[in-house]
Amino acid sequence: MTALSDPHGAPRCLVIQHSPTEDPGLLGDWLIDAGLALDILTPYDGAPVPQDLTGYSALVVLGGAMAAWEDDIASWLPETRRLLRTAVDAGLPTLGVCLGSQLLALACDGTVERGAAGPEYGACDVRIRPEAADDPLLGPVLAGPGREVAVVQWHSDAVTSLPPGAVLLADSPAYTQAFRVGACAWGLQFHIETTTEMVALWAEADGVDVDLEALPDLAPLWQPMAAGFAAFATSTVGTAQGAAVPTSAARA
């Protein structure tokens, strides 16, 4: 596990990274700037996913090329889903990005499938739902229901049914794009962490022709959101730390 920024007494955020080319990127920088210390867990290198969240004030789960149900390809996915369910049940601030959002949905009894409308790559627009206006994290950043926001996409799977009680915050004509489940767990189908270099690596690996110059500037919207997420972690220090994985949270 790699520790990024470790000021004494700073709230700690566990970041689960599924691939060498899908690191915390800009999001990691913004969370550190907002006062969090990050522990980067790389289970693809054999690092075990912890059984509980002792010592952590937040959880971030990043993207990856595998599907959210492909446990035979990524053996750590069941433990990651269990940990996500634990975080939701404990009220721990949680953020899932792309694959992370799909794992969050599965962990909380939603459905994820191959995207019937096909993959989304590069710059795309998502529509902010009216429900987002009251969301404690996205509301202050994405004020204006019905507004369209340019984001970075890189996915072929999608959340096709939300977890029970989840709130849809953003969508597009084809897919669910953002949701909240529980008090403070958010799933974003799109990417907020990417640099141009990161997307270029994905495009080369997947053989996709994407206009890198059309990628949106992520900082104006998503850096304030990252700061808001860090503020949640600060305000909940000690309230959810040390929660063990409940047996009811197990997902195959």
Q: Mean pLDDT, consecutive 10-residue segments, the chain of 252 residues?
A: 66 97 97 97 97 95 97 98 97 97 98 97 95 91 78 98 97 96 97 98 96 96 96 68 34 26
pLDDT for the residue numbered 46:
96
CATH code at position 157:
3.40.50.880
pLDDT for the residue numbered 246:
32
pLDDT for the residue numbered 54:
93
Which range of residues forms the domain containing residue 212? Answer: 2-249
Q: Which residue intervals of the chain are DSSP H helices?
A: 25-33, 77-90, 99-107, 196-206, 219-235
Q: Which is it for strands 167-171 and 176-181: parallel, antiparallel or unpaired?
A: antiparallel
Contacts of 34 (CB under 8 A, 6+ apart): 226, 227, 229, 230, 231
pTM higher than the cut 0.85: yes
pLDDT for the residue numbered 235:
83
d(Cα 232, Cα 57) in Å, to the nearest integer?
Answer: 9
| Residue in 96, 115, 99 with CA at minimum distance from that of residue 67 | 99
pLDDT for the residue numbered 179:
98
How many structural domains compose the chain? Answer: 1
pLDDT tens for each residue of 142-161: 765 568 999 999 999 999 99
pLDDT for the residue numbered 33:
97
Q: Using DSSP, how many helices (H) and how many strands (E) does the chain show?
A: 5, 12
pLDDT for the residue numbered 244:
37
pLDDT tens for each residue of 81-123: 999 999 999 999 999 999 999 999 999 999 999 999 999 999 9
